[in-house]
Amino acid sequence: MNELATTYSPNEIEGKWYKYWEESNFFAATLDDSKPNYSIVIPPPNVTGILHMGHILNNSIQDVLVRYKRMSGYNTLWMPGTDHAGIATQNKVERKLADEGLTKEDLGREEFIKQVWEWKEQYGSVITTQLRKIGASLDWKRERFTMDQGLSESVKDIFIKLFNDGLIYQGEYMVNWCPRCGTALADDEVDHEEKAGSLWNIKYPVKDSDEFLIIATTRPETMLADVAIAVNPNDERYSHLVGKNVVLPLVGREIPVIADEYVDMEFGTGALKITPAHDPNDFALGQKFNLPIINMMTPDGKVVNDYPAYAGMDRFDARKKIVSDLEEQGLLVKIEAHSHNVGGCYRCNTVVEPRVSKQWFVKMEPLAEKALEVVRNGKVKLMPKRWEKVYYNWLENIRDWCISRQIWWGHRIPAWYGPDMHIFVAKTEEDAFAQAKAHYGKDVELTQETDVLDTWFSSALWPFSTLGWPEKTVELEKFYPTSTLVTGADILFFWVARMVMFGMYTMDDIPFENVYLHGIVRDEVGRKMSKSLGNSPDPLNLIGEYGADAIRFTMIYNTSQGQDVHFSEKLIEMGRNFANKIWNVSRFVLMNLEDFDIKTFDKSNVQLELVDEWIFSKLNKTSKDVADKLEKFQLDEAAKSIYEFLRGDFCDWYVELAKVRLYNKEESGVKSRQTAQYVLWTVLEAGLKLLHPFMPFITEEIWQKIKVNGETIMLADYPVCNDSLVSDDKEKAFEYIQGLISSLRNIRAERGISPAKEAKVVIRTSNPTELETLKANELFITKLAKIEELTVGTDLTTPEQSGFRVNGNSEVFMILTGLLDVETEIKKINEQLEKVKKDLDKVNAKLSDERFTSKAPAHILDREKRIQEEFQDKYDKLMENLKNFQ
């Protein structure tokens, strides 16, 4: 067998094996009719993106599940792809143009789009290249892009279907507008944050009167577009003003005073300025009272030319000037501190403006009904389950989705306008002209819609569009619905719910069966990682230093289902240490298999001893436990189970015990030695396969050295539990040996005796099973516990000057004569006696007190008596030990 290098160097093996896997097409989805199917679609990272710790967590989870299912005999498909990220990508290219002194308007739409595609071709593969670094076993030959030809066609198809079904409409409504990105945003694309602000109290003169109405507002700049003042009809302070007009300060426009119960009499002054063009509630009130809509702001957040004193000023600069002018004219009453929710663009954090605009919308309520039903009936399972309540709340209170964006990069809405603005929705311009001719009875000029669709619109089709829909492909038949979706809880609404809605609408079936919602990766003090805070490490640097396997294992091991991950670089040391442990123990095993060939070994020579039966039992129990945990998406528990088995049971115990037989060169020990070699090979090979989904690179490197056949560990069979090899009795018997060795090691540690010094040990027990176990495993016990002389029996005298432990039903004595300082030991025992005596006296006093014993409940008395017995037993044993030293 080939030896492993002396030290484990992930940089030398990881790139090598990924190249081999990909070139060998091992990641490819199989379409074997005899196999069950398992599929995951990757949450498509933005084409602008680079790898961050959230990607590491998300894709490591997916890779563990896919590798496990692939090894378990499934047709597996992990679908790769990227998202065109409309706003983000356009911003990138616009910034590049700005550096050259150009704007997108300088280029024109067609040339600008061409440049974005060129940018995508140059930089779009950065994130997919980086995903390869962490070992993601995606079927790269099927890679999709949300604007590739097939997906673009599917977007048009579903848009037309929704439009024809009356679920897409166009209307002029209040939308969220980002002045920086120059586009509308959906409600859930606005991040709200409580911020300190001000409440400006302003005098509005009542026409033909000396009276003033005082209005409190958080946005004085929008007063330029006020069209009314609203008061509550039950507010006696203002009832005499309803129906009258006030004069709008700084503008001079007369506006009416109206009454509506919507007005909160307790807020501010109880009188509200109504600005339908710049506030959603005012917009609703404006529609109710048929008020005009006056817009005072340009799309980029500047004051329109209708107000010369402020024309062209940025909205916040205009605010300062307006407040200054009001103060100068004696119309500013006061400024109060006031905290309120401020909406920001989820892409660039710019303060969002409510804006009345003609947009395209999807009617969500009809789509939401089925999406609610499939989660309630369990067809779609959200994990952790607590997210169901959040999901229900959002869908039950859903608002129509604004899907149009005023940018150039994206899926252009497939609509054309006739001379009278009649809308023709079609897949191609030719289809639109044909519709128009049928409608008008002649050829007419058409104007194409300039808006593009919200990026999330195409992402909502991802589970079926990537599989070839609307074509009836083999992949769609086999892999839809997909099996599992792994994503962050923060896009439950943006993406998950919309995929469920579109899946039910388009396919009449759920898009996935299980949704694993993982938490956010935070720093060790709980802050969300970000470049601005400087607390987000570069994953590629971490991979370079620790290796991908160490990072993957660390992230999975420390991620409980649905909980945020508090990450620190120090955590990765655990993963690296574990990898080193696996490497070193594998190297040891390989070095001791030089004269052993599993291919030719005659298994009839196997003579299993207790330690072999124990490790086989533990291996099979671990195999069952890991499979159970993975099926329940308890990946951290599965990782812990493997860790405890390989690091604890195999490395710390079995390998150490195997050395006793491996180093036995006597002829009488040949079969025992060969058995140890056989078990070492078998357990190591199975252990590597158990670990492979979590740490794919190191397991492949080692497995290639010990394999019997097969091209790669990733296509080997995942270990399954063989119930016939599971034995609680054998495990219990070996646990007795473990307890015995640990007891003797603890005696040494407590007394400062060198682990290298051999000692004499006496074990007294009348338990026949323990006696038999001791005699059958005497060689192991003496070697691991460094015993020069072991005496075992039922009627043995307690040796003088000995350390004492109880293990099972056995009394264990280590003779300390010559191993330690007697006077120091006596002093230690006396100190322990003094402490135990105090505790014993206290409980004796309590049980001797008639006032206590007569009133205490029976269970309290029983507890105190048990405590008394424990302290008395401890005291008696310490006294006996003291006598041994005296």
Residues linked to residue 33 through DSSP beta bridges, in sequence order: none
pLDDT digits (tens, 9 = 90+) for 62-96: 999 999 999 999 999 999 999 999 888 998 898 89
Q: Are residues 857 and 708 in the same domain?
A: no
**Residue 636 shares a structural domain with residue 700:** yes
- 879 pLDDT more than 90: no
Least confident among 81-95, 661-675, 752-766, 862-876: 661-675
Is there a domain that residue 68 lies in? no
Please give the Cα distance from 566 to 520 (Å, whole number): 9
Instruction: Decide if 498 is inside a domain.
Output: no
pLDDT band at 735, cuts 50/70/90? Answer: very high
pLDDT, tens only, 442-461: 999 999 999 999 999 999 99
Q: Is residue 821 pLDDT above 70, yes or no?
A: no
Whether residue 179 has pLDDT greater than 90? no
The answer to whether residues 805 and 874 belong to one domain is: no
Q: What is the pLDDT of residue 391?
A: 96
815 and 827 together in one domain: no
Contacts of 455 (CB under 8 A, 6+ apart): 83, 84, 85, 86, 87, 146, 405, 410
Q: Which two tokens mark 54?
A: 């959230």
142, 11, 7: which is closest to 76 by C-alpha?
Answer: 142
Confidence of residue 331 (pLDDT cuts 50, 70, 90): very high
**Looking at the predicted structure, is the pLDDT value of residue 531 above 70?**
no
* pLDDT value at residue 667: 60
720 SS3 class: coil
* Residue 884, pLDDT score: 67
Is the pLDDT score of 570 beyond 70? yes
Please state which of the ranges 282-296, 568-582, 822-836 shows the lowest mean pLDDT.
Answer: 822-836
Q: Is the pLDDT of residue 545 over 60?
A: yes
Residues 689 and 739 in one domain: no
Which of 820, 853, 868 is at the close of a domain? 820
pTM, two decimals, is 0.83
Is the pLDDT reported for residue 482 higher than 90? yes
Which of residues 767, 791, 820 is at a domain's end? Answer: 820
Looking at residue 185, its pLDDT comes to 82
Question: What pairs with residue 802 in β-bridges?
Answer: 815
State the residue range of the domain holding 572: 551-726
pLDDT at residue 532, rounded to an integer: 62
The domain boundary residue, chosen from 691, 726, 761: 726
The more confidently predicted of residues 192 and 415 is: 415
pLDDT value for 668? 57
191: confidence class by pLDDT, cuts 50, 70, 90: confident
Strands 512-518 and 381-383: parallel
In a domain, 757, yes or no: yes
Residue 343 lies in a domain: yes
pLDDT at 75: 97
* pLDDT of amino acid 860: 87
Count CA atoms within 13 Å of residue 221 on its CB side. 22
Q: Does 581 count as an annotated binding residue?
A: no
Asked if 666 and 645 touch (Cβ cutoff 8 Å), the reply is no
Residue 886 scores a pLDDT above 70: no
Per-residue pLDDT band for 344 (boundaries 50, 70, 90) equals confident
- 148-175 pLDDT, tens digit each: 999 999 999 999 999 999 999 998 888 8
Same domain, yes or no: 714 and 666? yes
The count of domains in the chain is: 4
Q: Higher pLDDT residue, 818 or 115?
A: 115
Does residue 807 fall inside a structural domain? yes
pLDDT > 90 in the chain, percent: 73
Greatest Cα pair distance, the chain, in angstroms, is 121
> For the domain that residue 242 is a member of, what is the CATH number?
3.90.740.10
- Summarised one tens digit per residue, pLDDT across range 230-287 is 999 999 999 999 999 999 999 999 999 999 999 999 888 999 999 999 988 899 899 8
pLDDT at 529: 77
Task: Specify the pLDDT at position 194.
Answer: 86
- Which pLDDT value is given to residue 409? 95
CATH number of the domain residue 770 falls in = 3.30.2320
Q: Tell whether 206 and 345 lie within a shared domain.
A: yes
Residue 882 has pLDDT above 70, yes or no: yes
CATH code of 598's domain: 1.10.730.10
Domain annotation covers residue 447 = no
At 462, the pLDDT band (50, 70, 90 cuts) reads: very high
Is the Cβ–Cβ distance between 276 and 296 less than 8 Å? no
293 and 255 fall within a common domain: yes
Phi-psi region of 208 (alpha: psi -120 to 50; beta: other; left: phi over 0): left
pLDDT at 665 over 90: no
> For residue 856, what pLDDT is reported?
86
Do both 198 and 258 map to the same domain? Answer: yes
Check whether residue 765 and residue 651 sit in a common domain: no
pLDDT number for residue 817: 81
Task: Please indicate, yes or no, whether residues 837 and 806 belong to a single structural domain of this protein.
Answer: no
Q: Is the same domain home to 233 and 339?
A: yes
Helix, strand or coil for residue 430? Answer: helix
Query: Is residue 651 in some structural domain?
Result: yes
Residue 360 within a domain: no
